[in-house]
Amino acid sequence: MRHWLWIGLAALALVGCAGQTSSGGNGMTLTTSDLPNLGQAPELTNTVWLNTDHPLRLAELRGKVVLIDMWTFDCINCQHVIPSVRGWYEEYKDQGLVAIGNHYPEFDYEADLNNLKDAVQRLDVPYPVAQDNDGATWSAFRTRAWPSLYLIDKRGNLRYTHIGEGQYDETEAAIRALLAEQYP
């Protein structure tokens, strides 16, 4: 049985092969073949959402590339990643990128919805944010650290992960490669 659950290490090992090519902001090139298919991404079950008028579900986002940022608002590393996620969202949303912040709190005060709302405004997060106080989405993706980024292709397959800060050019190149994929 294919276990995409060990995605952290598998996705970081990029292998060059033929396929559709895309360059990131710094000229980094990835092909869709460089992005292993780590299996179907787990569905989002969050009920509390900010910056959207309805809960988002991956099944309804087929045909789009989905970027999920697992974060918590008082994590400095998470705060450092937000400008890049915001930039990708603004640059690629009209090309089919959907950015989602999945907020899983580390501390009790981060679980308070009003504190989350304040943080989303203060940190200038324009994309949808799901409150994940029970850790259902965090656990479904087998996340182990903040921040963690996941890219899901147009068919709902997990194709790329990154844990922590950095590798922004590689992440952007992966976004561009997945946006270039044909669907269906």
Q: What is the pLDDT of residues 88-143, one digit of tens each?
A: 999 999 999 999 999 999 999 999 999 999 999 999 999 999 999 999 999 999 99
Which pLDDT band holds residue 40 (cuts at 50, 70, 90)? Answer: very high
* DSSP conformation letters of the chain: ---GGGHHHHHHS----SS-EEE-TTS-EEEGGGS----BPPPP---EEESSSS---GGGGTTSEEEEEEE-TT-HHHHHHHHHHHHHHHHHGGGTEEEEEEE--SSGGGG-HHHHHHHHHHTT--S-EEE-TT-HHHHHTT--SSSEEEEE-TTSBEEEEEESS--HHHHHHHHHHHHHS---
Give pLDDT, residue 86.
Answer: 98
What does the pLDDT read at residue 33? 83
Whether cis (ω within 30° of 0) applies to the bond prior to 42 is no
What confidence score (pLDDT) does residue 87 get?
98
Q: Could you tell me what percent of the chain has a pLDDT over 70?
A: 85
| Residue 25: pLDDT band with limits 50, 70, 90 | low
* CATH number of domain containing 67: 3.40.30.10
pTM of the model: 0.86
Q: Report whether 17 contacts 31 (CB < 8 A).
A: yes
Range(s) of the domain holding residue 57? 4-180
Structural domain count of the chain = 1
